[in-house]
Amino acid sequence: MKEIILHNKIFQQHISKEEIDNIVSDLANKINVSNTEKPLFIAVLNGSFLFAADIMRKITIANAEISFIKLSSYEGMKSSGEISELIGINSNISNRNIILLEDIIDTGNTLEKIIEILTQEQVGSIKVATLLFKPDAYKKNLNIDFIGKSIENDFVVGYGLDYDEIGRNLPHIYKLKN
């Protein structure tokens, strides 16, 4: 099995680029037949940049649009809690049918924050598509409409996913070797 080293850690190939392509095609087909009218795809940066680019080429729904967001977290001046803000929504998305594109859903914390913020914008509907899902780490009850592949609770990199910002450019997905 092919191995690589990132920041002194060993990773082994886990999902080949050919398998990724099949997973992305399956997801696109499911979305294509979902009868989502004039969908606004929203890709969550940075991790989903390759997934978004690849899946969009396979989407055949007429009038599909795409936009990009980033969730930035910062400590509030007084509160001890983390405050999150969505960067990138600069047009009116009220009543739009949103399809979120996520690279990976782990605990679900990120997804929950994004859905919370989008809901405040009075969107028409929100569907969620994720390339990878870690069922054993997921702590939320939010419905995930389209799941590419469920994986074990391993740390993975490649195809957009990073380990301390490196590894996003790798065409295959690798997992941390224990």
Q: Give, as ranges, the residues between 77 and 136 that touch ligand IMP (CB under 6 A).
A: 103-111
Note if the bond before 46 is cis, omega within 30 degrees. Answer: yes
- Based on the residue annotation, tell me whether 106 is a catalytic residue of this protein: yes
Nearer to Mg ion, 54 or 103 (CB): 103
Strands (E), 21-162: 39-45, 65-75, 82-87, 97-105, 125-133, 146-150, 156-157
Residue 66 CB, shortest distance to Mg ion, in Å, is 16
Binding partner of residue 108 among ligand IMP, Mg ion, none, CB cut-off 5 to 8 Å per kind: ligand IMP
Give the Cα separation of 118 and 54 in Å (integer).
24
Candidates 47, 108, 158, 160; binder of Mg ion (CB under 5 A) is: 47
Q: b/e per residue, 29-49, with b = 16+ CB within 10 A?
A: eebeebebeebbbbbbeebbb
Binding partner of residue 144 among ligand IMP, Mg ion, none, CB cut-off 5 to 8 Å per kind: none
Residue 168 CB, shortest distance to ligand IMP, in Å, is 9
What is the three-class DSSP state of 32?
Answer: helix
Number of residues that bind ligand IMP (CB under 6 A): 14
Binding stretches for ligand IMP (CB under 6 A): 47, 103-111, 155-157, 161
The residues annotated with a catalytic role in the active site are 106
